[in-house]
Amino acid sequence: MRIIGQDDIPASEITPREVYLKRRQFMAGIAALAVSPAFAAAAPPVRGARLAGVKPGRFSTREAQTPYESVTTYNNFYEFGTGKFDPAENAHTLKTRPWTVSVEGEIKRPRLYDIDELLKLAPLEERVYRLRCVEGWSMVIPWVGFPLAELIRRVEPSGNARFVEFHTLHDPAQMPFQRSSVLDWPYVEGLRIDEANHPLTLLAVGLYGEVLPRQNGAPVRLVVPWKYGFKSAKSIVKIRFVEKPPLTAWMRAAPNEYGFFSNVNPKVDHPRWSQAKERRIGEFFKRDTLMFNGYADQVAHLYRGLDLRKFF
């Protein structure tokens, strides 16, 4: 991702970027490989509470799941730092209770949901999805959550609700890196209403059958598996239905690099790197990136007739 106009330069950025990224990649490889029983015994990760009544859901891949240790230690969550290992180290300052999610805008039933009420809104499902980060790495993660469509149905969008905006918590006391100007906070993302209603789109509250760790976006986050990972906003406090396309945090930061759709597309490169291949965390050789991250059968129809080079 890109760091723009910052007055607060992290040490990681003082190292030449290439060297820094290579070192991080190398360390990620070590982290991903270091899941032998001996290592696990030496440093057991603190695990979350188990979520009850989770049923297997649709669309799960049978591909090997990325180990819990990698899923929860190699993260992007800029509110807690720009280094991959920063969120796991720093996110303990996030308070996930009390927590509310305001659902508002062009809907008939605006409502402030308490997180524990939201958790009971619909049956919890496990969905094993591929997550492809725009930076070129990918994981396979067993999420727990329910389709966002379940919430949308209950709040009854009006005819003007053409897009949905997602806002992350904005509280520098809990999210220390919001004191930097890496992004224009809060982190905002958006979907077209048909994308938001798509059965693949999840509101996730857990992973590996357990309550979502803070570094992965507790207590509730979005998961949109056919788009680059940055669309999947973490620690959501507001879901707003709007008429016009939302200006997302990344579009605001670098409009030439990050488009609104951000569908995974091996044929449309990011201006600074190719998107043709990816490194699955824990694997040595790169693999080909798949159109719509392998979910083309489910979602390609949403974009029929759209020039995906122009609407990237």
Which residues would be at the binding site for ligand MTE (CB under 6 A)?
1, 75-79, 131, 133, 168, 187, 216-217, 229-230, 232-235
C-beta closer to ligand MTE: residue 105 or 225: 225
CB of 150: closest distance to ligand MTE in angstroms? 21
Structure tokens at 117: 């009420």
CB of 296: closest distance to ligand MTE in angstroms? 20
CB of 195: closest distance to ligand MTE in angstroms? 16
CB of 145: closest distance to ligand MTE in angstroms? 13
Residue (of 191, 74, 150, 141) closest to 293 by Cα position: 141
C-beta closer to ligand MTE: residue 157 or 238: 238
Residue (of 87, 190, 91) closest to 148 by Cα position: 190
Structure tokens at 213: 């760790």
Helix (H, G, I), strand (E, B) or coil at 152: helix
CB of 282: closest distance to ligand MTE in angstroms? 13
Structure tokens at 159: 């005819």
Cα 26 to the center of its chain, rounded Å: 23
C-beta closer to ligand MTE: residue 66 or 113: 66
d(C-alpha 48, C-alpha 63), whole Å? 24
Residue length, the chain?
312
C-beta closer to ligand MTE: residue 150 or 171: 171
C-alpha distances in Å from residue 170, one per residue of 126, 179, 215 = 29, 10, 15
C-beta closer to ligand MTE: residue 157 or 279: 279
C-beta closer to ligand MTE: residue 157 or 281: 281
Beta-carbon contacts of residue 77 (< 8 Å; ≥ 6 apart): 86, 87, 91, 215, 216, 217, 234
CB of 252: closest distance to ligand MTE in angstroms? 14
C-beta closer to ligand MTE: residue 157 or 177: 177
CB of 260: closest distance to ligand MTE in angstroms? 15
Task: Please write down the long-range contacts of 99-102, taking CB distance under 8 Å and 24 or more positions apart.
Answer: 99/219, 99/220, 99/237, 100/237, 101/220, 101/236, 101/237, 101/238, 101/239, 102/237, 102/238, 102/239, 102/240
C-beta closer to ligand MTE: residue 154 or 237: 237
Write out the DSSP string of 234-258. Answer: -SEEEEEEESSPP--HHHHH-TTT-
Cα 155 to the center of its chain, rounded Å: 23
CB of 144: closest distance to ligand MTE in angstroms? 13
Give the nearest residue (CB) to ligand MTE: 229
